[in-house]
Amino acid sequence: MSNSENELTNNLNGKHNSNGYTADSIQVLEGLEAVRMRPSMYIGDTGVKGLHHLVYEVVDNSIDEALAGFCSKIDLVINEDGSITISDNGRGIPVDYHEKEKKSALEVVLTVLHAGGKFDKDSYKVSGGLHGVGVSCVNALSSILIAHVKRDGKVYKQEFSRGKPLSNLQVEGETDETGTTITFTPDSTIFTQTTVFNYEILASRLRELAFLNKGIKLTLTDKRELVENGSAHFRFDEFHSKEGLVEFIHFLDGNREKLTENVIDIESNKGEVPVEVALQYNTSFSENVHSYVNNINTIEGGTHLTGFRSALTRTLKKYADESGMLSKLKFDINGDDFREGLTAVISVKVAEPQFEGQTKTKLGNPEVRLAVDQAVSEALSNYLEENPKDAKNIVQKVILAAQARHAARKARELVQRKTVLSGSGLPGKLADCSDKDPSRSEVFLVEGDSAGGTAKQGRNRSFQAILPLRGKILNVEKAMQHKIFENEEIRNIFTALGVTIGTEDDSKALNLSGLRYHKIIIMTDADVDGSHISTLIMTFFFRFMTDLINKGHLYIATPPLYQIKKGKEERYCWTEEERIQIVEELGKGREGSVHVQRYKGLGEMNAEQLWTTTMSPESRILRQVTIENAAEADRIFSMLMGDEVPPRREFIEAHAKYANIDA
Ligand code: 0RA
């Protein structure tokens, strides 16, 4: 990075020190070159997640404008050439020229790390923050970025490449509107895995943002291909929520049977920390509590979640005690019992959030706990007094949950006790690997004994273990906890992995310290039954071992769809496109000599074929299971695996391209 940029940052910090190097001058060495050298430090990774983070970074700035009261609409367009445009009707990035810095404010915002907030230090800046790196990072990681600003009656434009200006700020025309439009193409030398934006990922984030920030209109348009649907049009969605979190709860629980009449809506702007909470109970057995700080999903929780939990437990307990409903109870009730069948969203806006934890998504600010606790206990006790019918239903549900927990404890102890199945205390069906270092070891969860047999022959036994599972494992979305822990296949999974669950005061607490394999690989047939089985297994992991997914331990193996043979040459392929291409390639010259075999199941491959195509680290394709959007995943699992059939059918029909691979 050049010297002039160093000086500029110093000036902006207001801490220019004439006597040479200070801590500040070391800090200012971090320019956009640093971002390009170590992109993962700034945006998390350079895969699919990081790619989409670029978009969120820009959108966050527009959301800030909206929260400050200056912007009502944000439009995203995925352009035909794969670039993306984000426009808003906010004030527009300032463009005034700084004599000293010899560049416009716009150029400073786009070329100096962390410069965004320096212009309006006192304004309420709340969105973003996970990486909170600003639009300059997006600029650094884009091969082309074009900024258009409408402000002070004019339209301004400036273009950049890899963070460097290609031109000076130019006036393009006149306007009576205001706003900012940023178009960028992610740099393919940085995002080597992919630079293709995924419509679904963007749509689910915009939907989430619309619920979290009521009133803002967000739109998404995909201009890459026309969709045939009666008439040809571009794919388009508009996200706009009038009621915010209340609608979020309706959306999350669309496929669950509700226990109470209304969503309990809590909003408090009294203290330093604005708090919004919405909650409703349903008849399911799972707890679905999603927490956000400044629009970031805090998957590790933190002080806001602690405040929510203690207020919920204390307030409901007090109500239940006073109502006399607990008087005949022979067992204790704990915090867990108050959250069974609960769907809740907690959203706080914190001016200077401290993020902790492994993924930096755990809120540390101590003052937030009390703010949430007070807001929730006050509003909830009022609600219970005013809605005695709902209150009674909730307390009855809590009692049932406590009963079920006592039954489940016995079953859970079975999981934890080393069983006699084999000398090692491991399930008899497990073919373990010889290496005992978890970081080098992997285990395949294989559907069926016959495929399990082939996998045992084909594997590299030094670091690969095989656990065959019998048929369809239990659907944990529908079963009660004690049934789940009594289930043999599920117990085998716990024991084989070396994972235990549940302590005295938290029945869902996961202990991963004994994890025996760092890669857990689900391997099922490449047909509809196979994908149903992997969905069942993933549902189990999502509900009971979320942390294991978040730590990146869960994978899906992808067996090939076809084997294509010509003479002695054998090729495998995973998609229709590949099949067509390889058949054409091999068939060149001589007709009729190419033989195509469709694999329907793992059992149709011999051990060597299974090794080469699906198990060997050299040639296999593993897909890592990640949770991009926990709220969306929650809704989809409750839909796919829950009781209601119509929404499931709609989902499968909408995704028929993937579901129908057998056709
Ligand atoms: C710096 C200062 C101000 C606004 C912005 C940046 C800003 C950035 C982006 C990025 C996308 N949309 C945006 N909108 C605004 C404050 C502006 C003022 O004080 O007038």
Once rounded to an integer, what is the mean pLDDT over residues 383-412? 90
What pLDDT shows up at residue 331? 83
Specify the DSSP class assigned to residue 158: E
Report the nearest-CA residue for atom 12 of ligand 1. 62
Q: Which SS3 state, helix, strand or coil, does residue 445 take?
A: strand
Q: Is-catalytic flag, 75?
A: no
Residue 634: which H helix or E strand, with range? helix 630-641
Q: What is the pLDDT of residue 424?
A: 63
Least confident of 181-185, 208-212, 588-592: 588-592
CA angle, 33 as apex, 32 and 38 as ends, to 5°? 100
Residue nearest to atom 4 of ligand 1 (CA): 93
Which pair of structure tokens corresponds to residue 285? Answer: 């057995």
How many whole angstroms separate alpha carbon 544 and alpha carbon 105? 50
Q: Whose CA is nearest to atom 9 of ligand 1?
A: 61
Predicted pLDDT of residue 662: 34
The residues with which 226 forms a beta bridge, in sequence order, are 234
Ligand 1 touching residue 495 (CB < 6 A): no
Choosing from 7, 33, 529, 570, which is the catalytic residue?
529
Mutate to test the pocket of ligand 1, among 55, 58, 93 (most ligand atoms within 8 A of CB): 93
Provide the pLDDT for residue 6: 31
Active site residue 525: yes
Identify residue 224 by its one-letter amino acid code.
Answer: R
* Integer Cα distance of 242 and 652 in angstroms: 29
- The answer, yes or no, to whether any atom of ligand 1 lies below 6 A from the CB of 135, is yes
Q: Computed over its alpha carbons, how large is the radius of gyration of the chain?
A: 28
The rounded distance, in Å, linking the Cα atoms of 16 and 20 is 9
Q: Is 385 helix (H, G, I), strand (E, B) or coil?
A: helix
Please choose, from the candidates 341, 319, 340, 335, the residue with its C-alpha nearest in 3D space to the C-alpha of residue 391. 319
SS3 658: helix
Phi and psi at residue 656, to the nearest 5°: -60, -30
Cα 251 to Cα 254: distance, rounded to the nearest angstrom: 5
Residue nearest to atom 3 of ligand 1 (CA): 93
pLDDT at 656: 54
Who contacts 45 (Cβ-Cβ below 8 Å, separation ≥6)?
Answer: none
109 Cβ inside 6 Å of ligand 1: yes
DSSP assignments along 49-116, one per residue = HHHHHHHHHHHHHHHHHHHTTS--EEEEEE-TTS-EEEEE-SS-----EETTTTEEHHHHHHHSTT-G
- Does the CB atom of residue 88 touch ligand 1 within 6 A? yes
In terms of phi and psi (left: phi > 0; alpha: psi -120 to 50; beta: otherwise), the region of 118 is alpha
The encoded tokens of residue 425 equal: 């205390």
Cβ(93) – ligand 1 distance below 6 Å? yes
**Mean pLDDT value across residues 529-554:** 91
Query: How many whole angstroms from 435 Cα to the centroid of ligand 1?
Result: 55
Residue 589, pLDDT score: 63
Can 187 be counted among the known catalytic residues? no
CA of 374 to the centre of ligand 1 (A): 34
pLDDT exceeds cutoff 80 at 542 = yes
Q: How far apart are CA 350 and CA 293, in angstroms?
A: 7
Quick check: CB of 288 below 6 Å from ligand 1? no
292 neighbors 212 (Cβ within 8 angstroms):
yes
Residues 272-293: tens digit of each pLDDT: 899 999 999 999 988 999 999 9
pLDDT band at 303 (very low <50, low <70, confident <90, very high): very high
Each residue of 47-93: pLDDT tens digit? 999 999 999 999 999 999 999 999 999 999 999 999 999 999 999 99
147 CB within 6 A, ligand 1: no
Task: With CA atoms as reference, report the closest residue to 204 among 331, 55, 20.
Answer: 55
Distance CA 330, CA 452 (A): 46
- pLDDT tier for residue 98 given thresholds of 50, 70 and 90: confident
390 lines ligand 1 (CB under 6 A): no
Ligand 1 atom nearest 94 alpha carbon: 17
Tell me how far apart the alpha carbons of residues 135 and 127 are, in angstroms, rounded to a whole number.
Answer: 13
Q: Which of 442, 477, 525, 634 is catalytic?
A: 525
Place of tokens 């084989």: 496
Distance 29 CA to ligand 1 centre (A): 25
272: its two tokens: 């330093």
Residue ID of nearest Cα to ligand 1 atom 19:
120
Tell me if residue 81 is catalytic: no
* pLDDT, tens digit (0-9, with 9 covering 90-100), for 418-465: 443 444 678 989 999 999 999 999 999 998 778 899 999 999 999 999
**pLDDT grade for 654, boundaries at 50, 70 and 90:** low
Among residues 182, 186, 137, 181, the alpha carbon closest in space to that of 37 is found at: 137
Q: Predicted confidence band at 638 (pLDDT cuts at 50, 70, 90)?
A: confident
Is any ligand 1 atom within 6 A of the Cβ of residue 305? no
Measured in Å, residue 156 CA sits from the centre of ligand 1 at 14
Mean per-residue pLDDT over the chain, rounded: 86
Q: Which pLDDT value is given to residue 593?
A: 80
Establish whether residue 178 lines the binding site of ligand 1, counting it when its CB lies within 6 angstroms of any ligand atom.
no
Give the rounded percent of residues in the chain with a pLDDT score beyond 70. Answer: 88
Residue 580 Cα distances to 145, 567, 573, 575, 587, angstroms = 37, 18, 10, 9, 10
For 142-197, write each residue's pLDDT tens digit.
999 999 999 999 999 999 999 999 999 999 999 999 999 999 999 999 999 999 99
The residue that leads in pLDDT, 310 or 651, is 310
**Cα-Cα-Cα-Cα dihedral of 580, 586, 589, 590, to 10°?**
-90
Residue 104 Cβ contacting ligand 1 at under 6 Å: no
Residue reference for tokens 């907030």:
117
**Helix (H), strand (E), coil (C) string for 452-519:** HHHHHHHCCCCCEEEEEECCCCCCCCCCCHHHHHHCHHHHHHHHHHCCEECCCCCCCCEECCCCCCCE
Over residues 477-497, the mean pLDDT reads 88
CB 159, CB 166: distance < 8 Å: yes
Confidence of residue 19 (pLDDT cuts 50, 70, 90): very low
| Between 587 and 101, the higher pLDDT residue | 587
- Quick one: which atom of ligand 1 is closest to the CA of 117? 1
Across 101-105, 226-230, 463-467, the highest mean pLDDT is recorded for 463-467
| Structural contact between residues 226 and 234, judged by C-beta atoms closer than 8 angstroms | yes
Q: Which of 70, 74, 86, 180 for mutating ligand 1's site (highest number of atoms within 8 Å of CB)?
A: 180
Nearest-angstrom CA–CA distance, 36 and 522: 36
Report pLDDT for 657. 47
Cβ–ligand 1 distance for 127 under 6 Å, the answer no
Task: Tell whether ligand 1 has an atom less than 6 A from the beta carbon of residue 180.
Answer: yes
Q: How many whole angstroms separate alpha carbon 406 and alpha carbon 481?
A: 10
pLDDT band at 642 (very low <50, low <70, confident <90, very high): confident
Is the C-beta atom of 91 inside 6 A of ligand 1?
Answer: yes
What does the H/E/C string look like for 513-543? CCCCCCEEEEECCCCHHHHHHHHHHHHHHHH
pTM of the model: 0.82
Which of helix, strand or coil describes residue 592?
coil
Phi, psi of 631 (to 5 degrees): -65, -45
pLDDT at 571 over 70: yes
**In the predicted model, what is the mean pLDDT of residues 597-619?**
91
Looking at residues 640-648, what average pLDDT do you find?
A: 77
Ligand 1, residues 91, 138, 146, 182: which to mutate, most atoms within 8 A of Cβ?
Answer: 91
User: Is the CB of 61 inside a 6 Å radius of any atom of ligand 1?
Assistant: yes
Q: For residue 596, what are the contacts with CB-CB under 8 A and spacing of at least 6?
A: 562, 563, 564, 565, 579, 583
Q: Which of 175-184, 360-369, 408-417, 588-597 has the lowest mean pLDDT?
A: 408-417
Q: Which of 219-223, 441-445, 503-507, 565-569 is least confident?
A: 503-507
Which residue among 59, 86, 95, 120 has the greatest number of ligand 1 atoms within 8 angstroms of its CB, and so is best to mutate?
Answer: 120
For residues 630 and 496, the answer to whether their CB atoms sit within 8 Å is: no
Q: Which of 204, 185, 374, 408 is nearest to 272 (CA)?
A: 374
Q: How many CA atoms lie within 13 A of 303 on its CB side?
A: 20
What the block records as the tokens of 64 is 């800030």
Contact 219, 239 (CB under 8 A): yes
Q: What is the pLDDT of residue 117?
A: 44
- pLDDT at residue number 134: 86
Burial 616-642 (b: 16+ CB within 10 A, else e): eeeebeeeebebebbbbbbbbbbbbbb
Q: Which of 300, 373, 447, 477 is catalytic?
A: 447
Of the listed 237, 527, 547, 604, which one is catalytic? 527
Of 597, 574, 596, nearest in space to 584 by CA: 596
Confidence of residue 259 (pLDDT cuts 50, 70, 90): very high
Kindly give the number of the ligand 1 atom that is closest to the alpha carbon of 180.
12
Q: In angstroms, what is the span from residue 238 Cα to ligand 1's centroid?
A: 23
Domains detected in the chain: 33-199 (3.30.565.10), 245-406 (3.30.230.10)
